[in-house]
Structure 1
Amino acid sequence: MSFLEAEALVCLRFTPNKAALLYMNQQWNRRKFLSLATTSAVSSVLLDGLREPLNAATRKMNVLFISIDDLRPTLGCYGDPIVQSPNIDKLAARGMVFTRTYCQYAMSAVSRNSILTGRRPDTLDIYDFTTNFRTKLPNVVTLPQQFKRNGYHTEGMGKIFHTHHCNYDDVRSWSVPSWPPESRGPLTPKELQECLGNEKSPQTALKTAQELSVARNRPPVTGAPANDRGLKQTTIANHAIERLSALKAANKPFFLAVGIGVHLPFIQPKQYWDLYNPAQFKLEDTKNLPMFAPYYAGNNASELRSYSGVPKTGPIPDELVRQITHAYYARVSYADAQIGRVLNKLDQLGLREQTIVILWSDHGFHLGDHGLWAKHTNYEQATRSPMIVSVPGMKVVGQKCNALTELVDIYPSLCELASIPKPNGLEGTSFAPLLNNPKRPWKKGAFSQYRRKRMGLMGRSLRTARYRLTEWTNENNSNTSVIELYDYQTDPQETINIAGLQGNTQLVANLKSQLRAGWRAALPPQT
């Protein structure tokens, strides 16, 4: 190890908030820095798996990991005729659009746990937003942590891990602390210990109630500010742009995670609101749950109803539906603009040809279909997520891949694309082969699930190329079940549950058998 590398490693260990940034920008006072250094400290850092920087001949690909909160495939590259998303569409033209990517659980915390650990919710045994994954698998190696162990500088900003409602950031994953500070989680050491020691402590319940009460006291759509100065998504993009410049100067492969939000409450600058005419938005035809669907398959729009000005029960007024839909589209365009600024900086720095770019959302989002809002269901609009991948040297660009893929596939895919080893225990499948041949035979199904804890029910869902079968079972008696079945070829809007219709008995049995066989039985054929 060189002397300069030892300096950097100790710097990252002892004073990560400021010293690492100063050092990487060559502003660190070496004498002051050396006063912190000890042989044992350097050894401790080396145990984390950090390697020497690679030379130009063997340099690994960088990774720009763009996470978007609550984005359904409301993008031009997915065929939406209204949305204005020129920057994401430009990325799609330089990469591949995966049209059938599904989350494993339509809740941010659970989905992100799955993506970042490469494990499915049943393996993690986490179905809520209060349980940190390390309470279940304390030694699991996360996606950024695996890159860190293989010589990468890893850094996150914005929402990457879920850090709300008694949850917290994963410090082992990053070379420097997450930014901004509030993205590291709002907990004091005492509160953290309470969460780790007792997930259902009175203190935890009080904290969650206090956070939710804040939401109830504000409307779902806030008046559009004149500009984006000071707005959170803009500051995140600003920071990402600054860090890209510093990371290029550091001349070391990086894994940069940038989290941009499209989340309630919807706040965006006026210029993005003005992109749309409210009359453009056609209200959803399906205002009720599918015929013959069990009532608990819906979510009662509980997230939206927690905001002020929204009826606590009954239908949402059409005028408010149109306003919220307008705000959602404006928020997507605002997010697109910030992502565009980051991608433009990547180009300006000459980093695009050595950087893998992946853009994904943690789940989809209901916009009034079935009378539902936000997520928390097993239906198509909640479980289907956009995913776009651009890799330098791709032979196939600007095309769409209709193969069934899952967000849990991201971890092994990035490892393969970056030529770093995959740790044992991953439960996804690398989609790297699809980048060369998007029409090759692939998975037979994608798997999602959602728990209705108060009712003691778990809904497990299988999405095939044509059908979705969801089985709701009593968690105390798996032999008792209710089945939903939707045929997207004849009923793309999921208007009728056909599981009980005459003539579908064998189809239900076949799909139910495939669902219970699980994800391992649905893997792509070996070639």
Structure 2
Amino acid sequence: MKSKYAFLASLTFSFAIFTQTFAQKNQPKYNVLFIAVDDMNDWIGPFGGYPGIKTPNIDKLAKRGVIFTRAYCSAPACNPSRASLLTGVRPSTSGVYHNNQPWRPVLKDAVTLPQYFTANGYEVEGAGKIYHDVFNDEASWPKYFGVPKSPQPPAKPVNGFSNFDWSPVDAKDEDMGDYKIVSQGIDFFGKKHEKPFFLAIGFTRPHLPWYVPQKYFDMYPLESIKKPKVIDNDLGDVPSAGIKIAKPEGDHKFILENKQWEKAVQGYLASTTFADGQIGRLLDALEKSEYAKNTIIVFFGDHGWHLGEKEHWRKFALWEEASRVPFIVYAPGLSKPGAVSERTVNLMDIYPTLTELCNLPTKKGLEGNSIVPLLKNPATAWDHSSVTTHGFGNHAVRSEKYRYIRYNDGSEELYDHDTDPQEWKNLAKDEKYAAVKAQLAKSLPAVNAKDAPTVKEGKE
């Protein structure tokens, strides 16, 4: 009798495996439109960061997909953020923490997201800034269109210094690099594709310098510009490690001494609205194509951006504005139009999410979490905090209520976002939050890899 039951159990198990494999092979293969935007923070319409921002095309996408209001980057810099989300390997695991650290030499065997889609029968193509420019990965792209340059003022800097500058340029949209990138995507959608495709389009604006055509500056008259909410001596309760990162004696001092705050904000807004217009061209082309109904859209900014909050400009910090990112996912037949998830997610989650949505074999070794459950039900239970790393041993852990920062020297910051969304009051030294810190610290990376080798290129 035992052998009979064993045979039946084996037969049942084999049938289950056959059924699962058959089902996986015969499920629909979705296309992927992967949209990466450089230096775009939460000032866009769906995220409410700046009142009066003009981003109608991103707003339209948000009404189709799921908005993740607590999405964060793995690192607040282009190179480590992009390298980690495209390889599935955290900066603290690889040692790639900064923009001047080539990632491929320390991740020789990594199978990148586009490589994995190619290996699983997809037509893969990229255009624009997907990896950090100087470290683009040829192995990832069967076909790749680079990053065209955009027009610049005849004499620069105009208002700032070096690359930290903002000004209208005498140019048309068609002259701009991002316009040309989108044209590649439009051409792609106009062709017949026999296989499912993975198309990655990377936008440069609103990365510095903020040079875009005059009409975008005109949308934001200087007298109407609103500066971010700030308080005096905001760095007064921040440990020296955080102040060193903020560098208030650099960009912020220049802005104040030269009375450029409103003009700089105007330049950022203008560049964001320019990018939105090009994103609209791309999405309109997809909507008019035969691929509209079976294409997943993933839209994200690679990290946040400060415009004077915490006496800081640029990214390169562990506070909310540097690490929070716009993140919208549209999954045909799965995501509910205009849904909002307040769960803490990370750009590291993109890789496992896309492989699951496209019914590809599970990729082992990824350090993110698939957010497919949140696409199905944005309010479902979720026990994953989001971790952002900036340099060796410096991490921020974001839960739905708190941001906890621990620097390499052991100093700390803690902010309660329910009562202090601007992160003005550091609670880390208050003993009544000791248990909160201990709980959040459980999410700190167990591995802190030594710094990867650096080169002179790629600092910005």
Say which of 278, 292, 297 aligns to 2:242. 297
2:182 pairs with 1:237: yes
The alpha-carbon deviation at position 460 of structure 1 amounts to 1.4
Q: Is the 8 A contact 1:281 1:325 kept in 2?
A: yes
Q: Flag the structure with more relative contact order, 1 or 2, with Cα contacts below 8 A and sequence separation at least 6.
A: 2
CA 1:89–1:299 in structure 2 vs 1: closer, same or farther (change >3 Å)?
farther
Distance 2:426 2:436 in 1: 13
**Identity %, equivalent residues:** 36
Say which of 258, 267, 274 aligns to 2:211. 267
The alpha-carbon deviation at position 229 of structure 1 amounts to 2.8
Deviations 1:352-377 (A, max 9, x none): 10100110011000011111111111
Distance 1:178 1:287 in 2: 46
**Equivalent position of 1:179 in the other structure:** 146
The alpha-carbon deviation at position 163 of structure 1 amounts to 2.2
Counterpart of 1:499, as a letter, is: A
CA 1:448–1:486 in structure 2 vs 1: closer, same or farther (change >3 Å)?
same
Greater mean alpha carbon deviation, residues 315-324 or residues 334-343: 315-324
Counterpart of 1:403, as a letter, is: R
**Equivalent position of 2:402 in the other structure:** 467
Counterpart of 1:484, as a letter, is: E
Query: Which residues in structure 2 correspond to 1:43-122 (within 5 Å)?
Result: 60-79=29-48, 80-122=50-92
Q: Is the 8 A contact 1:236 1:258 kept in 2?
A: yes
Query: Which residues in structure 2 correspond to 1:502-517 (within 5 Å)?
Result: 502-515=431-444
SS at match of 2:174: coil
The alpha-carbon deviation at position 222 of structure 1 amounts to 2.4
Distance 1:349 1:131 in 2: 40
The alpha-carbon deviation at position 97 of structure 1 amounts to 0.5
**Equivalent position of 1:255 in the other structure:** 198
Distance 2:288 2:248 in 1: 40
CA 1:514–1:110 in structure 2 vs 1: closer, same or farther (change >3 Å)?
closer
CA 1:444–1:148 in structure 2 vs 1: closer, same or farther (change >3 Å)?
closer
**Equivalent position of 2:336 in the other structure:** 396
CA 1:217–1:492 in structure 2 vs 1: closer, same or farther (change >3 Å)?
closer
**Equivalent position of 2:113 in the other structure:** 143
Which stretches in structure 1 are left out of the alignment for 5+ residues?
Answer: 1-56, 184-214, 306-310, 452-456, 475-480, 519-527
SS at match of 2:396: strand
Distance 1:259 1:304 in 2: 33
Q: Is the 8 A contact 1:299 1:376 kept in 2?
A: no
What is the number of equivalent residue pairs in this alignment? Answer: 412
Distance 1:433 1:175 in 2: 32
Greater mean alpha carbon deviation, residues 365-374 or residues 72-81: 72-81
Which stretches in structure 2 are left out of the alignment for 5+ residues?
Answer: 1-25, 151-159, 448-460
2:360 pairs with 1:420: yes
Distance 2:147 2:248 in 1: 25
Greater mean alpha carbon deviation, residues 425-434 or residues 296-305: 296-305
**Equivalent position of 1:281 in the other structure:** 225
TM-score relative to the length of structure 1: 0.73
CA RMSD of aligned residues (A): 2.6
Deviations 1:412-469 (A, max 9, x none): 0000111112321101000011111111011341111212xxxxx6321111111111
**Equivalent position of 1:133 in the other structure:** 103
Counterpart of 2:356, as a letter, is: E
Distance 1:273 1:304 in 2: 28
Say which of 150, 161, 170 aligns to 2:137. 170
**Equivalent position of 2:15 in the other structure:** none
TM-score relative to the length of structure 2: 0.83
Deviations 1:230-253 (A, max 9, x none): 11111111122112213xx13221
**Equivalent position of 1:204 in the other structure:** none
**Equivalent position of 1:327 in the other structure:** 267
